[in-house]
Structure 1
Amino acid sequence: MDYVIVGGGSAGCVLAARLSEDPAVQVALLEAGPADRNVLLHCPAGLAVLALTGQANWKFETVPQRGLDGRRGYVPRGKVLGGSSSINAMIYTRGHPADYDAWAAEGNAGWGWEDVLPFFKRAEHNERGADAFHGTGGPLNVMDLRSPHRFGPVFVEAAKQAGYPQTRDFNGATPDGVGLYQVTHRNGERCSAAKAYLTPNLQRPNLHILTGAQATRVLLEGRRAVGVRYRQDGQDQEVRARREVVLSAGALLSPQLLMLSGIGPGGHLREHGIPVLHDLPGVGRNLHDHVDVVQVVDAPHLTDLLGVSMAGVANAVKGILEWRRERRGLLTTNFAEAGGFIRSSPEEALPDLQLHFVIGKLVNHGRRIVPGHGYSCHVCLLRPRSRGALTLASADPFAPPRIDPDFLGDPDDLRRLVLGFRAMRRILEQPALAGYRGRELAASAAARDDAAIAAFIRGHADTIYHPVGTCRMGSGSLDVVDAQLRVHGIEGLRVADASIMPRIVGGNTNAPAIMIGEKAADLLGQAAKRLRVSASAAQNAVAA
């Protein structure tokens, strides 16, 4: 093989497709999970069943979190072709342009907003059409919901009544405000990274996709990566890379694999009996995530909202028939149909809070069935100050890593999330929603002053599924990759996924992960071109 890519998630699918566009290049993609054949992965509303059953999911947990009353957080990650893009809520947001300019300002040339926007546009086919911010003709289909629920606009109206501006495009000139989310759907089905980038190209003879293949080690010869060891069907095997190995296993598994391979903090590796081949102290550091809390409102008379009741069953049956016949109806929902980006206070330079409005009662990540009907609203902190770490639990490559985002470890995070909870409640109390006579569930309804709200948050907050930063990009002593995504001190090895983010973006992280895949493919293409030019020059010199 010329390239070996570890991880068939959002960035890995992009890389495999883009690199294999060159028929002279052989590309191997290793994915620990299965192929994406389950209908629940393609039906948008199937994500509710996936949440209940844990299918296609690593189902990780954090270590006990001091900021969350010692609770363990739930960390779902996709274990299937497409990775988390195959099990997420399909919201297409990129973050704020200033997020990327901050990356560049920290010394990461080529990662400012004007640098990355072309890669977002190249990835995208936006059904609204192309403009200064959006592309058409790309593999990833982005669209307005095909059968939007009537209640998303109700939330938007309530937010407007609370004083927030409405926006039609969260990825346009002004990401601020509230509105309806665009989604990664195509013709009423989920458009995951696998479906966008791999499915159309499965017949390429130079693209080799290995599913059920869990990488256990990067193979090194001296300070050069030359391949990957993996286990498939109970057998240990190896695949060699003539050019480069790229880790795209995500913010949790890419740093774990580096450490299992002897690349990471020397003292920590020695604790687990792993020979230190390259002491790189930043591997696993800088873990952070969007911490989030949900307010749930009970509205049993609103039986057209998603819920568990006789009416809910009838709605579901009707939805199944509509989806099977024409890919329309209730089952095309992504649940979090509306939301917005707001500020915790007027002094904030950028929106620091995100809202996700859900057309059902969401409890414990959807893993707990709650009878009746109602709606929910998330508020998450977009730029947390808290930083944790990803470390090894053991030298066993099949043991989950220790995940410690240190949620609310910085007191300022809790302060702003309390303000966010108040803002969310104020929206839900506006006439547009209050007229439906819903009742906030008792767990949060009793929290009225700041101390009580803070206690509720500590007792109920958790991730909204955006871990980043563990293979941080930069040139500092704790950075792991450079601006070309090359691992410091190791040749032929790059990382391309959300782990390279120096700081989390102010929005959902799937679209940025796909952008990272697109940019990584471009960087690898440039490197290959330089090698060809260098080889040609050498041949000409010999001939002369």
Structure 2
Amino acid sequence: MIDISSSEEHDFSTRARDNQARLTATLRHCYDFVVCRAGASGSVVARRLAENPEVQVLLLEAGGSDEAEAVLDPALWPTNLGSERDWSFQAEPNPHLNGRQLPLSMGKGLGGGSSINVMVWARGHRSDWDLFAEEAGDASWGYDNVLDIYRRIENWQGAPDPQYRGRGGPVWVEPAADPSPIAHALLDAAGEIGIPSFAHPNGRMMEGQGGAAISDMLVRDGRRHSLYRAYLRPWLDCPNLTVLTGALVHRVVFDGRRAVGVKFLHAGQVTTVGASFEIVLSLGAIQTPKVLMHSGIGDSAELGRHGIPVLQHLAGVGRNFQDHVSFGCTWESAEPIAPRSSGSEATLYWKSRPDLDAPDLLFCQVEFPVPSDRTAARGVPAHGWTMFAGLAQPASRGRLRLQSADPSATMAVEADFLSDPADMTTTRACVALCRALGNAPAFRPFVRGEAMPGDLKGDALDLYIRDAAVTYWHQSCTAKMERDAMSVVDATLKVYGVDGLRVADGSVMPRVTTGNTQAPCAIIGERAAEMIQKEHGL
């Protein structure tokens, strides 16, 4: 018997491949829109614009295909870190982390981070979106409108919850399938210390003080369902969408103060392509500020150090860098328990202080040991699990600096994790809560004992924290959407002071959202496309 679905998939793949081969063989001199990077936001923007058959869209992606088992098999996500699918950025040495340099992974290829991450779908807290609306001066960024968008774009596979979840959208979201017993133990442990559990983590749980739940995942039929696969891949056979991989964006080209094209490197040649309507930068929180700076948009002193002519002074380009920082606490298993799916199936958000009305701590259970480069020396159990917990709302802020006028040179990332003393206070509370959870009665059938940190106090605890700190790879906020002197884009994501240029990625967040960032980046892409379509009558 012929498998119709397999036959249809094969036919589509052939059409899409042949169509893209034709479209990329001879690029047009000019497109209506040029979108830079096929990540969590760029994939959304390009798809939504290309839904109008009269609009010609070019999508430039520096990386390559997502057709790799390391991408598609949820269990293999760690193998992408440090691979050709990772930009492999590195932060500068940080005195607040005992001089350590942390790797800052970011997806490179179709799907961007959504093709190499842990596949968790976390919408952010009500307070995040209401803050965005307040800072932007636009109520449509607020939680109520964003909730409507989430319901529209989801294809929710869990128990029906029409108040919060949608069906029929492009994004296949399902609860982690057949979770590990230690995932359920985390929910039981949370209840033992007074933290409520919820049917899913993307509804009522993220409107108040937080709670615990089995994670929502972008996994379909046991395979990764990245935002590229959700939005963009189904459109690859369309004649008005050109997706060019291996295309490294150098800078935006201007005619006066209007963006009219993009200069990029492809197949060893520097090429310029025009945009008759707009250019959208969706390059992420490190590459977007870099391209802005090389285009003459940024702090005039920073540009002047490298002889880059200033087109628009915007002091906030590359400032306000934020990320979620984690401090792994690990337990040794009584008996080996093999990780399931992605190895991260339960999540928890809670408060470091009772007086807070929203969570400031983020917990993702990982079903294997996750030491840092330093804490590995303390002894890692052969079998165990990690409470990958950290700061959902860090107070510390970093910045990016150019190291050269050469667009191929890397940026200096001064992440400055734990530079604000408030973060150390919050982290101590975070570690204490980790230990209370992991040592709760619910885990006793599954663990032999706590491997690290143990009952550390004072300077010994602070040393552990600084040695244990790693990042969730949620880099954001370096081209923020606000109305102050350090803002880079307005409420419509247009870059201040120039025309024809928008930013749509995690860099526009005024503050990092509470939780994993790919779902909020999808919202940023949806909002950008909606505003572009409205302005140009598409």
Normalising by structure 2, we get a TM-score of 0.90
Q: Secondary structure at the match of 1:357?
A: strand
Q: In the alignment, what sits opposite 1:255?
A: 289
Superposed CA RMSD in Å reads: 1.8
Which segment is superposed worse, 15-24 or 340-349? 340-349
1:457 matched to 2:465? The reply is yes
Give the match for residue 155 of structure 1: 186
Alignment of 1:419-458 (within 5 A): 419-441=429-451, 444-445=453-454, 447-458=455-466
State the Cα deviation string for residues 202-251 of structure 1 (Å, max 9, x = none).
10100000000000010111100001010011111111100000000011
Bigger Cα displacement from structure 2, 153-162 vs 209-218: 153-162
Aligned residue for 2:3? none
* Matches of 2:354 and 2:401, distance apart in 1: 38
Aligned to 1:165: 196
* Distance in structure 1 (CA, Å) of the matches to 2:33 and 2:447: 58
- 2:241 is aligned, of 186, 189, 207, to 207
| Cα pair 1:152 1:337 within 8 Å, conserved | yes
Please list, as runs of the form range in 1=range in 2, the aligned pairs for 1:211-226 lying within 5 A after superposition: 211-226=245-260
In the other structure, the counterpart of 1:2 is 32
Secondary structure of residue in 2 paired with 1:45: helix
Partner of 2:131: 102
Q: Which amino acid aligns with 2:399?
A: A
Give the SS at the match of 1:427: helix
Q: Give the 5 Å matches for 1:3-82.
A: 3-51=33-81, 54-82=83-111
User: Which residue in the other structure is 1:136 paired with?
Assistant: 167
Matches of 2:522 and 2:265 in 1, distance apart? Answer: 26
Deviation at 1:428, TM superposition (A): 0.5
With 135-144 and 21-30 compared, the bigger mean Cα shift is at 135-144
- Give every structure 1 segment of 4 or more consecutive aligned residues whose post-TM-superposition deviation is greater than 3 Å: 364-371
CA distance in 2, matches of 1:360, 1:366: 17
Q: Which residue of 1 aligns with 2:11?
A: none
| CA gap 1:495/1:177 in 2 versus in 1, 3 angstroms | same
Matches within 5 A, 1:390-401: 390-401=400-411
Larger mean CA deviation between 162-171 and 125-134 belongs to 125-134
Range with bigger deviation, 351-360 or 371-380: 371-380
Q: Structure 1 residue 352: deviation in Å?
A: 0.8
Question: Are positions 1:481 and 2:489 aligned together?
Answer: yes
Aligned twin of 2:143: 113
The CA distance in 2 between the partners of 1:92 and 1:146, in whole Å, is: 14
Residue 338 of structure 1 pairs with residue 346 of structure 2? yes
CA–CA separation in structure 2 for the residues paired with 1:33 and 1:438: 44
Extract unaligned runs of 5+ from structure 2. Answer: 1-30
CA distance in 2, matches of 1:422, 1:117: 33
Aligned-pair CA distance for 1:88: 0.5
Match of 1:227 in 2: 261
SS at 1:2's partner residue? strand
In the superposition, relative to structure 1, how do residues 18 and 24 fare at CA in structure 2: closer, same or farther (>3 Å)? same
Out of 384, 388, 392, the position equivalent to 1:378 is 388
Q: CA deviation at 1:460?
A: 1.4
Stretch of structure 1 that moved more, 456-465 or 208-217 = 456-465
8 Å CA contact 2:381, 2:451 repeated in 1: no
- Flag the 1:367–1:212 CA change in 2: closer, same or farther, 3 A: farther
The 3-state SS of whatever aligns with 2:514 is: coil
How far 1:86 sits from its partner (Å)?
0.4
Of 306, 316, 334, 1:282 maps to 316
Retained in 1: the 8 A contact 2:380–2:451? no
1:336 partner SS: coil
1:542 match: none
Q: Tell me what 1:348 maps to.
A: 356
**Residues 43 and 232, structure 2, Cα contact 8 Å, conserved in 1:** yes
Q: Is the 8 A contact 1:40 1:50 kept in 2?
A: yes
What does residue 305 of structure 1 align with?
338
Pair 1:294-2:328 in alignment: yes
Q: 1:147/1:40 Cα in 2 relative to 1: closer, same or farther (>3 Å)?
A: farther
Aligned-partner Cα distance in 1 for 2:150–2:44? 12
For the Cα contact (< 8 Å) 1:108–1:473, is it kept in 2? no
| 1:499-518 superposed matches below 5 A | 499-518=507-526
Task: Check the 8 A contact 2:135/2:481 in 1, yes or no.
Answer: no
Q: Deviations over 1:260-285 (max 9, x none)?
A: 11111111111012111221111111
Partner AA of 1:416 in structure 2: T
Residue 13 of structure 2: aligned partner? none
User: Quick check: 224-233 or 276-285, which moved more?
Assistant: 276-285
Q: In 1, are the aligned partners of 2:246 and 2:266 still within 8 Å (CA)? A: yes
Instruction: Look up the SS of the partner of 2:328 in the other structure.
Output: strand
Q: Separation in 1 of the partners of 2:202 and 2:240?
A: 35
Provide closer, same or farther for how the CA distance between residues 370 and 348 of structure 1 changes in structure 2, counting only shifts above 3 A.
Answer: same
Q: Give the number of equivalent residue pairs.
A: 501
Q: Bigger CA drift: 496-505 or 125-134? A: 125-134
Equivalent residue of 1:400, what SS? coil
- More displaced 10-residue stretch of structure 1: 74-83 or 384-393: 384-393
Write out per-residue CA displacement over residues 512-544 of structure 1, whole angstroms, 9 at most, x where no aligned residue.
001100111100000111xx8xxxxxxxxxxxx
| Separation in 2, partners of 1:495, 1:98 | 23
Q: Is the 8 A contact 1:48 1:366 kept in 2?
A: no
Partners in 2 of 1:126 and 1:89 — Cα distance?
18
**SS at the partner of 1:438?**
strand
CA distance in 2, matches of 1:493, 1:74: 30
TM alignment of 1:229-244, pairs within 5 A: 229-244=263-278
Give 1:149 deviation, angstroms.
Answer: 1.8
Instruction: Name the CA shift for 1:98/1:371 in 2 (closer, same or farther; >3 Å).
Output: closer
Identify the range of structure 1 (516-525 vs 152-161) with the bigger mean alpha-carbon deviation.
Answer: 152-161
Q: In terms of mean alpha carbon deviation, does 56-65 or 399-408 score higher?
A: 399-408
1:434 deviates by 2.7
Q: Give 2:307's aligned residue.
A: 273
Aligned partners of 1:123 and 1:515 also within 8 Å: no
**Shift of residue 365 of structure 1?**
8.7
Write the letter of the residue equivalent to 1:336.
S
Q: What's the CA shift string for 1:41-80, capped at 9, x where partnerless?
A: 11101102223x5241011111111221111111000001
Shift of 1:438: 2.4
Say whether the 8 Å CA contact 1:65–1:72 is kept in structure 2: yes
Moved more, 204-213 or 157-166: 157-166
Q: Give the 3-state SS of the residue equivalent to 2:462 in structure 1.
A: helix
Distance in 1 between residues matched to 2:145 and 2:79, nearest whole Å: 39
For 1:385, the aligned partner's letter is A
Deviation at 1:11, TM superposition (A): 0.2
Could you tell me which residue of structure 2 aligns to residue 310 of structure 1?
none
